[in-house]
Structure 1
Amino acid sequence: MTLEKQLIQKTYYEMFINEHENIHPIRVLGEASQEELKKDMPDLSFIRFAQGEVYFQNKDYETAIFKWENITNELEPWAKKNIADAYYESGLLSNAEDFYLAIETDQLTLNTEVNLQLFSLYIERGKLDAAVAVIKSTIVSNPDYPNVTQIARCFFEDRQDWSNAIELAVNEAKRTGSLEWFETINTYVEKGVTKKLHPNYFSQALIELFSLDRQLFERLCCSLWNSYKQEESYFAWLREINHLLLNLDISRNDYWHGLSSLHKETYFGLIDGRFFIKKLQDLIPDLLTNWVRLTDPAQTVVASAAALSWNELFPASISMSIVSEAEDLISHTETEMDELEECLSLFEAILKWAQAHDMGENNRLKWIVQQLIDFETHHLLITGLSGSGKSTFVNAILGEEVQDSPTSSVIMFKDFEELTITEITDYETVTLPDFSQFQARLDRRRNALESIFEFKRPNPFLYENSLALIDTPGLKGSQQDRYEVLQHLHTADTVLFVLDANAPFTDKERAVLSQIQELAPAIPVHFLLNKMDTIVNEQEAIQIFDETKAVINGYMPDAKVFAFSSQYESSQQLSDFKAFVQSIKNTRNLEDKRLAKLLFFIRTTITNLLQKRISVENQLIESVRWNEELVMKLTGALNQVNDAKSQKTTAITKSYRAIREAIQNEISETVPKMLQECSELITEDSNFSKIHIELNEEMNRKIQDYLENSVLPKYFTSLQGWIVNSKEEFEQSRLFLDEMAEGFNTLYGEERIKLECDFKVLGDWRRDTDRMTNGFQLENVNILLRNTPSQFLLKSAGKLFGAIQNKAMLFNKYKSFVKNEDYSEVTALVTERFFRQFELFEKSLERDITLFFKFPLALLNQTAEGARSEIRTNKEMLDKMNTNPEIFRDPLTLFEVRLRQFEWMTVAGKGMQTIY
C-alpha cells in the first residue's frame, strides 16, 4: 500500500506494528515512543501521528486531536486534515471547516481529499452553493481522482441541478472520450433537461463522438433533434446540425436511418405553409444536401426528388454535385409509392391551408376529387352547342324527364339506391329535400354555374354500364365557354359531343372542339348525331350520318359517332347506346389517367389560389370603401335621428307646457275672483267672532270644487288631445325611420336594419294622465287665518265686538276686507300644490321621448361600430398582405415544390433525367 493511501485511510500506524500484530497498537506505539525518547535528539512526530490514527480509529477523537496538534514534520498538513476529520466526526462542523480551509499544501491528493471532505461537510450544513463550488473546483484540479466525477454526477442529479450535470457530462465526454459519458448526455437529452441550452453547446462533443461511435452519434443527434422541435431554438439547431453534418465525412453506406427519417420529417414540416421562404432559403438547401448524402435506401427517391424540386424553383441553391447525384439516384432507383395517397395528401394540405387563410371551403374541388378517385365509375361528359337537343337525349337515357328545359348548371347523374340530390358550391354543400326543390334550383339563372348538382337515384342503365353522366349547360361557341363550361372537362373520362343532324359539325362546333383539344388533349371525344327523326327521308338520314362521320374522322380519326332520335323505339335505342358506350369506354391505365387529372387540379388550384389572393385584396379594398361610405351614411343618419329626437322633444314638451300654462293662467284668474266673491257670504247677522273660520273653510271648499270639477276635466281633455298630437309626431318619426331603414337595407341587399320605436311611451302617458286627472284633494289652505296686520285687527275686532248688537261697522269692514284682499299668495300656493304631481310628469317627458328613439339610435350606433370594426380588420389584413405579400405567395410556392417533388418521384427508376 502506498504512503498516500495509508494517510488517506489513516493506517499509517501499521508501519510500526509489523511483527507485533498480536500486541495492541497503543502499547506498541507507546514502547516505540519510549525508545525514541532515549535518543539524543528524539523526534516523536511520526509516532504521535500514528498514535492519533489509532485513537481516531477507536473514536477517541479528543486524544487523537491532542496527538496531531504536536506534529511538526512533513506529515503536518495531513495531521491538520486529520484534526479536521476528528472535529467532523465529533459533530463540531464549524471547527472542522475552519481547519480544512486553513490547510495549505501543494500535494494534489491531500487537496483533493480536503475538498471531498469539505464537499460532504457543506452538504451536511446545507451550504449547497459552497458544495457545488468545491466539487467543481476539485474536478478542474484533479478530474481523474477515483470516483470524484461520479460523486459530482450523483450530487447534481439528486439535486436536479441539470445545468451542472450536463456541463460535467459534456466536459468529461470530450476529455475522456468515454462512451459512458456520451450515453449520460443522451439520457439527459431524452429527459428533456437540455432544451434551454443553445444547440452549439453540443457541437464539439458530437464531433468527438462521430470519430468514436457513429451509431451512438446518430442516436444523440436524433435525441437532440427531437428535443429542440418545439423550442424557439429549433431553427438554430437545424443550422447547427446542418453545418456539422456538412463538415463530417458522411456516407450512405453507414445507414443513417434515424437521421434520414428526421430529415424527411423536418423537410416536409418546413414546407407545409407555416413558414416564409425567406426564413427557409438559407436552411433547406443544406438540409436537403445532407439528406441526399446520408439518406437510407428506403428514402433515396424522396430525398433526391426533394432536392431536385427545390433546386428547380430556387436555381443554384443546391450544389451541382448534389443535384447530379440526386438525378443519378432518382434515375436508377425504383420505389414503391402509393401515388394516389401522396397526391391526395398534398391536395388536402393545400385545401387545409386555403381554409385556414380564409380562401374558401373549396367544396366543388373536394367533390371533383372524390369523383376522380371513384375508379369503378366511368364519367361521360355530355356537351354541345345550345339547341342541339342535349337535354332531350339525357332525359331519354335516364328514362324520365329530369330536365324540362336546358340546364344552366353542371349536373352529374349517378345510380344510387335512393333519391339523393345535392347542390355543391365552393362555400357549402346542401342536400335538397325533393325533386321539386331540384327543379326550382335549376330554374335559377343567377350564378347558376357556381353550383354543381349531384343527382343520384336508382337507374339500371347507369348501373349496368358503371356510368355517370355529366350534363353541362349548352355551349355558346365563344371564348367564354372555356371559363364557364369547359373547366369541367378534366372531371370526365370521355366527352360525348352532341350534334344537330340538321346542321352537323359547323365551324362554331369545330372552334369549340379546338378549345376542348387545347384544354384536355388526352380526353377522347366522341359524337352523338341527334334529332335524326327530323330527317324525313331515311336514305337522306343515312347519307347525313355517313357524311358527318367522314368529316369528323377526317378531323378526329379515332372519334366514333352514334345516331340518336327521341322518336326511335326506346329499349332498342338504349341497347344500341349501351354497345356504343362499351366501345368508347377505355379503362386501360384509368388510375394513371385519374392521377394525371388530380395533378392537373392541384396545379390549377395553386394558380387559382394565387389569383384569389389578388381577388381577396380587391375585395378587402372594396369592403373598406363600402364600409367607409356606410359609416358616413350612418353618421348622417344618427345626426338626423338625434335632430328628430330634439325636434320632437321640443315640440311635444312645448305643446304640453302650453296646456299647463293655459290651465295655470285660468287658475290664477279664477281663484282670486272666487275668493273675493265670498264677501257675499258675510251678513250683518254673521257671528263675527267665528266668521273668519267659516269663511276660510268655505273658500277651501270652493277651491276644491273648482279644481276637481272644472279644472281637472278640462285638463284631462286637453292632455288626451296632446297625446293624440304626440302620437302623430311619433308616427311621423316612425315613417321617417322606416324610410331610412329601407334605404340602408337596399344598400345591404337584405333586410338587416329595422328601426323600431318604443310606442309604449304613449301608453305610459295615458296611464299617468288618467291617474293624475282622476281626482285631486287639496290640503286646506290658510287663507283668512294668517297673521297679517289687517287680518289680526279684524279677528280681534270680531272677538271684541261680537256681543255688540250694532254690527254695521264691523260688517262693512269685513265685507270690504274680503272683497278687496289680494289673494295672489294663496293662488300661487294652490297652483303649486295642484301642479306638483304634474311637474314630475313634465320633467320625465324628455327622458320618455329619448326612450322612444333609444333602439333606433342604439342600432344605428351598433351598425356604425360594426362597420368601423370591419374597416379596421380589413385595413389590418390589407396592411399585412401588402407588408408581407409572402403570407400568401410563399406557402403556395412551397406547395408547388411538393407537387414538383411528387412528379419527380413518379419517374423514379425509369431512367428519365427530367420531367415537365
Structure 2
Amino acid sequence: MNLEEQLIKKAYFEELIENSTDHPVQILSELYLEENKKEVADFSYIRFAQGEVYFHHKDYEAAIFKWENIQNELGPWAKKNMADAYLELGMPETAERIYLSIEDANTPLKMETNLQLLSIYIEQGRMEHVIEIIQSAVTLDPDYPEITEIARNFFEEHGEWNHAISLALDEAVRTSSLRWFSILEGYITAGQTIGKHPMYFNQAITILFSIDSSRFEQFVSVLWNQYKDKEEYLDWLNNFNSLFLDMDVSSEDSWRLLSNLYQEAYFELINGTHLIKELTRMIPIHLTNWLKITNTSNALFASAAVMAWSERFPSTVSSTVVRGAEELILNAQKYPTAKEDSIQLFYTVLKWAEENGIESGNLIKWNIEELVDQESHHLLLAGIANSSKDGFINVALGDDILPGPTSSIIAFKNGEETAIREVTDTEMTDIENSEQFHQAIGVRRQNLKKETIIDFTFPNEFLSVNQLKMIDLPEVHHNQVGNHVIYKYIHFADSLLYFINAEQGLTDSDKEVLKQVNIQVPTLPIHFVLTKLEGLSNEEESRVIEKTLSRIQVYCPEAQLFVYSTNSRRDRVVKDFTEFLQSFLNSKTISDERVTKLQHFVRKSIHYLLDKRLEMENNLIESVRWNEEMVSKLNGAINQIHDLEDEKKRTIMEAYMLIKDEVRTEILKDVPNILRSSAEIIKADSDFSKIHIQLNEEMNSRIQDYLEETVMKKFYRELNNWIASSKSEFDQAQYTLDEMCEGFNMMYGEERIKQECDFKILDDWQRDADRMTSGIQLEKMNFLLRYTPAQVFLKSAGKLFAVMPQNNTLLYNKYKSYIENEDYQEAADKISAKFFKQFEMFEKALGRDVTLFFKEPLRILNAAVDEAHQHIETNKAELEKMRVKPEVYRDPLNLFEVQLRQYEWMAAAGKQH
C-alpha cells in the first residue's frame, strides 16, 4: 500500500508501528516520548498517526485535537481528516467549511474531499452543489476509482439526463470504450437525447467508426431514427453525410442497416415536400455515400438513383460516382417490385395533386387502372378511313354495337354485367341506353377536340375466351396522320391490329402512321387485318394477300396478316380470328412491358400537372380580367338602375301631382258656387233671427255631398288610372332589367342574375286608394257664424227686425244678396286642404315606395359586385403566391420525375437478366 492509499484509508500510523503486536496507542505514545528527548523534536507525524488511531476508535474529539496543529506536508490531509471527524460527530456545516478551506491539495486529496462534500450535499438535498462537485471530480480525474460510475448512477437516479448524456459522450470519446457507447446508445434509444444538435455526436461517431464498424452502423442507425420526422432531420443528414464522406468505407462489408436508411431517406427527400434548392447540395453527397456502401447484391436502388439524379442535374454528382453507378446497374439483379413501385409513385403524384387542389385528369387514371390489370391483353384497333373496322368489330363481338365509324375511343371489356361509362378528362358519366351510347360515340362526329373514352363492359364470350380488351380508335384520315390519337394509345396497347382496305392497299398515310408508331414504341407488336376482298377470284385474292403481306413486312418484319371478308360466316370469322390471336398473344411479354407502359403514363401525369400549373395561372389571370370587367359592367348597371329609379320617381310623382292639382282646381272652382247656391233656401217668410244657422248647416251639407259624390269618386277613378299608368311604368322598368339580366347571364354562362322588382307596391297603392276614398267626413265649417262686420250686421238686424213682419222683405233681399255675392275663396282653400289632408302620408311615401320597387335588383347587383371583388382579391393573392414561389409547385413534380426516371433505370437493368 503506497502513501496515498494509506492517507485515504487513515492507515498512515501502520508505517510507524512496524507490525508490532502492541496496541497502536501504546506504541505511538512511546514514540512520542522518544521524540520529545530530541534536541529539536517534530511531533507532527506522530500526532497525525495518533489522530488516525483515535478516529478508528471513534474518539473523534481526540483525533481532532491531534490534527489541529499539523503544519508539515500532512497538514492538508490533517484538515481533511478533521472534517471527516466533524462529519462523524454530526456537524456537516463545520465539516463542509473545513473541506472547502483545504488548499494546494494533490489530486487524491481533492478527489477524497470532493467525495465527502458530495455526501454532505446529497444528504442536504443541495442538487446544484452535488452536480457541481461531480463535474469537478470527473473533470479532475475521470479515472479515479468508480467516480464516473458514481456520477452516472446519480444522474440517472435523479433524471439529470443532460449531465448523464454529456458524461457518457465524454467518456466514450475519452476511453473509446464500447461500454460507454452502449450506455450512450441506450440514452438515444430512450429518447433522452432528443433536441441535441446532430453535430453534438460527431466526435463519438468518428471514434466509433475507427473502433468497430458494426457497432458504428448500429449506433448511427439509432441516431438516424431519432432524428427522423424531427425538425433536425435535414441537419442530421447534412451533418452525417459530411462526416461519412471522408470515412474510408469498404463496400465488401455488410452495411444493410445503413443502406436501408440511405434508401429510405432518399425517397423521403424527393417525395415532393422539399424544394430543389434545399436538395441540390445535399443529394449528391447523400447518393455518393449511399453508393459507396452498396455492393452488387443490393446496388439497384442506389445506382439507379445516381443515374436519375445526374441526368436531371448534370455535374452535381462526380463523374467517378456516375461511372461506378453505371457499372453496378449493368450487373444488378432484376427489379422485382417495378410494377408496384411505379403504381405507388402514381398515387403519390395523385395525392400531391389533390392536396394542391389540382384535378389530375380522368383519362390518365383510366389508363393506369387498366394497365394494372394484367389478366387481359390490350389489343388496339386502328386503321385508315373506309377500312370496315367497325363492321369487323361487330362480327367479332357478335352484336351490331357500332352503327359506323366513331370519333371516340371505345374500350370493349368482358364483365358479368353491362356497364357503359363516358370518360373525359374532367368527368365520368354513366350511359344508360343505346340512344345515349350512340350519342356519346358521336357517329361521324366532327368535334374531335374533346378526347373521350367509352368504357364498355358487357358479358362477351369472345373477349372472355381470348382474355382480351379491344380498344377501338377513330379512323385515321389523311389530314390527321401527324396528330392522331393513336400515338397516345400505342403506349397503352400490348399489340396493335391495323386495318387495311384491299382496294387501296398500304397507302402513304398508312406507312407514315406505322413509321411513327415504330419510332415511338419500337417493341410494340403490330399485326394487320385486310378487308374488302369481295368479288375477287381465288387467284386474284391470293395475289392481293401476298402483295399486301410483303409490303407490310417491309415496315413490320414480324407482322402477321388476317384476311376478313364480309361474305364470310360469323362463326368462321370468330374461329379463324381466335386462332390468329393465339399465335401472338404472350402473357409473359405483357407483364414485362406493362411496367414500361405504366411508367409512361406516370410521366404523362407529371407532365399533365406541370401543364396544369400554366393553365391555372392563365385561368387566374383571365378570371381577374373577367371579374374586373364584370365589376365595371355591374357598376354601370347599378348606375343605370339608379337613373331608372329617379326617372320612375319623377314620372309617377308628376302624374300623381297632376291629378291632385286638377282635383284641387275643381274644388276651388266649385265650392264657392255651391256655397252661393245655398241662398235658395232663404224665403221671404224665413225666420231671420235663425236663418244664419240654417244657412251654415245647409252649406256644410252641400259641401259634404259634393265631396263624397263628385270629388271623391272622380279622385278614385283618377287614382286607379294613375296606378294602371304606374304599373305600365314599372313593367317597362322590369323589361329593361330582364334584358339586363339576360345579358349578364350570357356572360356568366348560367342563370345567376335574376332581378325581380317589388310589384307588391302597386297592391299597397290600390289598397291605400280604396281605403282613403271609401268616404270622407269633414268637420263642420263656420261659413256664417263668424264675426265679420257684414255677418254681425245681418245677424243683429235679423234678430232686431224679425218681430216686425214689414221688415222681412228687406232682410230677405239683404241676406240673399250677401250669400250670392260673398267671395268664399278662403273657405274653398280650407276645404281643399282638408280634403287632401288624409292623402299626405300616401303622397310623401311615393318616392320611398319607388325605391323599394328597385331595392331587390340593386341588392342582387351589389352582391354580384362584392362577389366579383372577392374573386379578384382571392385570385390575385393566388397569382402572387404562384409567381413569388413558382418552385413550390414545380419542384415536387420535377422530383417525382427524378424518382420515375430512377424506376425506369431499375426496370431496364432488370431486363438484362
**Does the 8 A contact of 1:11 with 1:53 survive in 2?**
no
Match of 1:222 in 2: 221
**Does the 8 A contact of 1:77 with 1:104 survive in 2?**
no
Question: Is the aligned partner of 1:108 residue 2:110?
Answer: yes
What are the residue-to-residue correspondences of 1:467-482 with 2, within 5 Å? 467-482=468-483
**Residues 1:555 and 1:247: Cα distance change in structure 2 (over 3 Å):** closer
Structure 1 residue 281, shift from structure 2 partner: 1.1
Match of 2:864 in 1: 860
Structure 1 residue 268, shift from structure 2 partner: 0.9
**Does the 8 A contact of 1:530 with 1:563 survive in 2?**
yes
Larger mean Cα displacement after TM superposition, 283-292 or 866-875 = 866-875
Structure 1 residue 551, shift from structure 2 partner: 3.9
**Residues 1:833 and 1:612: Cα distance change in structure 2 (over 3 Å):** closer
**Does the 8 A contact of 1:361 with 1:428 survive in 2?**
no
Match of 1:519 in 2: 520
**Does the 8 A contact of 2:653 with 2:847 survive in 1?**
no
Deviation per CA, 1:540-577: give whole Å up to 9, x if none. 44544444344444554443333323233222233233
**Does the 8 A contact of 1:13 with 1:53 survive in 2?**
no
Distance 1:590 1:824 in 2: 109
**Does the 8 A contact of 1:302 with 1:905 survive in 2?**
yes
Match of 1:404 in 2: 403
Larger mean Cα displacement after TM superposition, 488-497 or 891-900 = 891-900
- Amino acid in the other structure paired with 1:271: I
What are the residue-to-residue correspondences of 1:371-390 with 2, within 5 Å? 371-390=370-389
Match of 1:902 in 2: 903
Match of 1:313 in 2: 312
Deviation per CA, 1:202-248: give whole Å up to 9, x if none. 21122233334444433332232223233332222111000111122
Distance 1:67 1:655 in 2: 127
**Does the 8 A contact of 1:119 with 1:131 survive in 2?**
yes
Match of 1:347 in 2: 346
Match of 1:728 in 2: 728
Distance 2:496 2:84 in 1: 101
What are the residue-to-residue correspondences of 1:375-774 with 2, within 5 Å? 375-443=374-442, 445-447=446-448, 449-533=450-534, 535=535, 540-553=540-553, 556-587=556-587, 589-656=589-656, 714-771=714-771, 773=773
Match of 2:644, SS? helix
Question: Is the aligned partner of 1:848 residue 2:849?
Answer: no
Structure 1 residue 654, shift from structure 2 partner: 4.8
Larger mean Cα displacement after TM superposition, 801-810 or 425-434 = 801-810
Match of 1:872 in 2: 876
Query: What TM-score, normalized by structure 1, do the two folds share?
Result: 0.80
**Does the 8 A contact of 2:481 with 2:512 survive in 1?**
no
Deviation per CA, 1:556-602: give whole Å up to 9, x if none. 44433333232332222332333333334355622223333333334
Deviation per CA, 1:308-357: give whole Å up to 9, x if none. 33223333322344333333333334345222223323333344444545
**Residues 1:276 and 1:217: Cα distance change in structure 2 (over 3 Å):** same
**Does the 8 A contact of 2:649 with 2:847 survive in 1?**
no
Distance 1:685 1:102 in 2: 144
**Does the 8 A contact of 1:672 with 1:822 survive in 2?**
no
**Does the 8 A contact of 1:311 with 1:318 survive in 2?**
yes
**Does the 8 A contact of 2:761 with 2:853 survive in 1?**
yes
Match of 1:421, SS? strand
Kindly report the root-mean-square deviation, in angstroms, between the aligned alpha carbons of the 2 structures.
5.3
Larger mean Cα displacement after TM superposition, 464-473 or 646-655 = 646-655
Deviation per CA, 1:809-843: give whole Å up to 9, x if none. 99999999998795699669847852464367346
Structure 1 residue 905, shift from structure 2 partner: 2.5
Distance 1:318 1:151 in 2: 50
Distance 1:292 1:911 in 2: 21
Distance 1:86 1:836 in 2: 113
Deviation per CA, 1:45-91: give whole Å up to 9, x if none. 97998899799x89xxxx979988995554456546765786777xx
Structure 1 residue 656, shift from structure 2 partner: 4.7
**Does the 8 A contact of 1:157 with 1:165 survive in 2?**
yes
Structure 1 residue 287, shift from structure 2 partner: 0.7
**Residues 1:868 and 1:612: Cα distance change in structure 2 (over 3 Å):** closer
Deviation per CA, 1:396-415: give whole Å up to 9, x if none. 22222112121110111122
Structure 1 residue 440, shift from structure 2 partner: 1.8
What are the residue-to-residue correspondences of 1:110-259 with 2, within 5 Å? 111-113=113-115, 115-117=117-119, 119-120=121-122, 123=125, 136-137=135-136, 139-141=138-140, 143=142, 153=152, 162-259=161-258
**Does the 8 A contact of 2:172 with 2:181 survive in 1?**
yes
Deviation per CA, 1:676-719: give whole Å up to 9, x if none. 9999999866679xx99x99999998888777776665555444
**Residues 1:162 and 1:702: Cα distance change in structure 2 (over 3 Å):** farther
Larger mean Cα displacement after TM superposition, 194-203 or 330-339 = 330-339
Match of 1:400, SS? coil
Distance 1:99 1:681 in 2: 144
Task: Give the number of equivalent residue pairs.
Answer: 881
Larger mean Cα displacement after TM superposition, 471-480 or 623-632 = 623-632
Distance 1:521 1:363 in 2: 27
Identity %: 36
**Does the 8 A contact of 1:68 with 1:82 survive in 2?**
no
**Does the 8 A contact of 2:80 with 2:99 survive in 1?**
no
Structure 1 residue 358, shift from structure 2 partner: 5.2
**Residues 1:137 and 1:721: Cα distance change in structure 2 (over 3 Å):** farther
Structure 1 residue 276, shift from structure 2 partner: 2.4
**Residues 1:67 and 1:610: Cα distance change in structure 2 (over 3 Å):** closer
**Residues 1:334 and 1:72: Cα distance change in structure 2 (over 3 Å):** same
Match of 2:455, SS? strand
**Does the 8 A contact of 2:645 with 2:850 survive in 1?**
no
Distance 1:480 1:757 in 2: 58
- Amino acid in the other structure paired with 1:834: Q
Deviation per CA, 1:245-268: give whole Å up to 9, x if none. 112232334422222111101101
**Residues 1:7 and 1:305: Cα distance change in structure 2 (over 3 Å):** same
**Residues 1:834 and 1:746: Cα distance change in structure 2 (over 3 Å):** closer
**Does the 8 A contact of 1:252 with 1:294 survive in 2?**
yes
- Amino acid in the other structure paired with 2:855: L
Distance 1:277 1:673 in 2: 103
Structure 1 residue 487, shift from structure 2 partner: 2.1
Gaps of 5+ in 2: none
**Does the 8 A contact of 1:174 with 1:205 survive in 2?**
yes
Question: Is the aligned partner of 1:292 residue 2:291?
Answer: yes
Distance 2:669 2:118 in 1: 116
- Amino acid in the other structure paired with 1:334: Q
**Does the 8 A contact of 1:389 with 1:531 survive in 2?**
yes
- Amino acid in the other structure paired with 1:277: I
**Does the 8 A contact of 2:410 with 2:455 survive in 1?**
yes
Deviation per CA, 1:746-773: give whole Å up to 9, x if none. 3344444333434344444444554555
- Amino acid in the other structure paired with 2:852: D
Match of 2:271 in 1: 272
- Amino acid in the other structure paired with 2:388: G
Distance 1:822 1:623 in 2: 70
Distance 1:17 1:827 in 2: 150
Distance 2:282 2:702 in 1: 105
